[in-house]
Amino acid sequence: MSQPRIAAVILAAGKGTRLKSDRPKVLHEICGRPMLAYVLDACRAAGVADAIVVVGHGKDEVIAAFADDPAITWVEQNPQRGTGHAVMVCREHLPKYEHLLVLCGDGPLIREETIRALLDRHITGGLAATLATAVLDDPTGYGRIWRDADGRLRAIVEHADATPEQRQIREVNPSYYCFRTAEFLPLLDRLQPNNAKNEYYITDALALLIAAGRPVEAITSVRPEDIYSINSRQELALVNRVMRDRVLDRHMTAGVTIVDPASTWIDARATIGRDTIIQPFVTISGPVRIGEHCRIGPFVHLAGGAVVAHHATVPPFTGGRV
Mean pLDDT of 15-33: 93
Catalytic site residue from 5, 18, 167, 321: 18
Residues 190/208, Cβ–Cβ less than 8 Å: yes
Active site residue 18: yes
What is residue 124's predicted lDDT score, i.e. its pLDDT?
96
The DSSP symbol for 128 reads S
**Rounded to an integer, what distance in angstroms lies between the CA atom of residue 322 and that of residue 307?**
7
| Least confident residue range of 81-90, 164-173, 223-232 | 223-232
Measure Cα distances from 190 to 71, 156, 202 in Å: 30, 18, 11
**Beta partners for residue 179, in sequence order:** 100, 129
What is residue 194's predicted lDDT score, i.e. its pLDDT?
82
The DSSP symbol for 56 reads B
**Domain ranges, ordered by start, for the chain:** 6-226, 254-320
Superfamily holding 6-226: Spore Coat Polysaccharide Biosynthesis Protein SpsA; Chain A (3.90.550.10)
Judge whether residue 186 has pLDDT over 90. yes
For residue range 94-149, what is the model confidence (pLDDT) as tens digits? 999 999 999 999 999 999 999 999 999 999 999 999 999 999 999 998 999 999 99
Fold of 254-320: UDP N-Acetylglucosamine Acyltransferase; domain 1 (2.160.10)
Average predicted confidence (pLDDT) for the chain:
95
293 Rama sector, left if φ>0, alpha if ψ -120 to 50, beta otherwise: left
For residue range 276-295, what is the model confidence (pLDDT) as tens digits? 999 999 999 999 999 999 99
User: What length does the chain have?
Assistant: 322
Spell out the alpha helix ranges (H) of the chain: 35-45, 59-65, 83-88, 112-124, 181-184, 203-211, 233-253
Judge whether residue 322 has pLDDT over 70. no
What is residue 201's predicted lDDT score, i.e. its pLDDT?
92
Helix axes 112-124, 35-45, angle to 10 degrees: 50
**Rounded to an integer, what distance in angstroms lies between the CA atom of residue 248 and that of residue 252?**
6
Whether the model clears a pTM of 0.85, i.e. scores above it, the answer is yes
**Rounded to an integer, what distance in angstroms lies between the CA atom of residue 189 and that of residue 230?**
30
Judge whether residue 150 has pLDDT over 70. yes
Residue 253 burial (10 A CB sphere; 0-12, 13-18, 19+): exposed
Mean pLDDT of 140-164: 91
What is residue 6's predicted lDDT score, i.e. its pLDDT?
97
Residues 199/84, Cβ–Cβ less than 8 Å: yes
